[in-house]
Amino acid sequence: MGLVSYGSIEEAVKGCFGTDVNIEDSRSVGGGDINSARLLMLSDGRSVFIKYNSASNSAFFDAEEEGLSAIADTGVIKTPELFCKGMDPDKGISFLMMEQIVTGAPGQNTWYEMGRQFAGMHLADTTRYVKGGRFGFLHDNYIGATRQINTPFDNWIDFYRECRLKPQFRMAERALDEQAVKNCVRLMDKLGDILTEPEKPALLHGDMWGGNHLIDRDGNAVLIDPAAYVGHPEADIAMTELFGRMPHGFYEGYHEKIPAQAGYDDRRDIYNLYHVMNHYNLFGGGYLSSALSIIRRYAG
């Protein structure tokens, strides 16, 4: 069952926490590149975190709910508790209300335990998240502000080609010269010789850079802002290395449960190509030259 939806933030507070509870104060907090966010201080003493966007962008929160719920349902790694969502037509906003994570410092075993928990998520059963295939997700969702295609496929390499790389190449097509286009085509043709099929499909966070986890006051890792889907676990691990690696303990804990496959280092940049291309398509700049360098290297 999905979250209850309300017609205003004030109505949502009363519906979730009691008709006698009011918003006493609020302050703006970081919400990422896509959404805005506020911390609401309530009359019963609690604080809650709310993300909001325009009413026309309510699909962002439907997707976030689905992704966080899927990760939470594995029962192995923490996510913020979701309270409700809604759309306020008078204010022209949509919103998602969730637990405020009070952050703290990592403990001695935080990163090791996070790695083990992350591997546990990758080992969880995925059949409920894909209908009509082994890879994909229940619905399309978002990687940043880009629509992420999750059409089901039985074959991981086909899924990655058709639903990850090709859409990014099409979005960047006007910026590619003739040689770059040829290299993209050659890379797509060679993908089956570069990537491997996983031993089993894995539920992925999908956007696992360093800004998408928190450490709570008890020293537990908390995953936030997923772009969840079912795929190859290497795709998640690769992104943990894209903008700076996680602490060593994370990989130690992870690989105790899921040993690294031979040749992973040779495949890592193919997985990160998706994110580099997406950053170019969202933000422009030097990401294109980085992406073209990866493409040339693998196209041969």
Domains within the chain, CATH numbers bracketed: 5-99 (3.30.200.20), 110-299 (3.90.1200.10)
pLDDT at site 32:
65
Catalytic residues: 207
125 CB contacts (<8 Å, ≥6 apart)?
Answer: none
Question: Rounded distance, CA 240 to CA 251, Å?
Answer: 10
- The single-letter DSSP state of residue 203 is E
For the entire predicted model, the pTM comes to 0.96
Question: Rounded distance, CA 241 to CA 46, Å?
Answer: 36
Tokens of 237: 């691990």
Query: What is residue 54's three-state secondary structure?
Result: strand
Average pLDDT over residues 75-103: 97
What is the share, in percent, of the chain residues with pLDDT greater than 90?
95
pLDDT tens, 225-250? 999 999 999 999 999 999 999 999 99
Residue 34 pLDDT class (50, 70, 90 cuts): confident
CB 127 within 8 A of CB 135: no
CA distances from 188 to 156, 183, 272, 274 (A): 13, 9, 15, 13
Count of CA atoms in the C-beta half-sphere (13 A) of 65: 21
pLDDT tens, 99-152? 999 999 999 999 999 999 999 999 999 999 999 999 999 999 999 999 999 999
Q: Which of 112, 92, 147 is nearest to 278 (CA)?
A: 147
CB 227 within 8 A of CB 212: no
pLDDT tens, 268-300? 999 999 999 999 999 998 999 999 999 999 998
Question: Which amino acid is located at 57 in the chain?
Answer: N
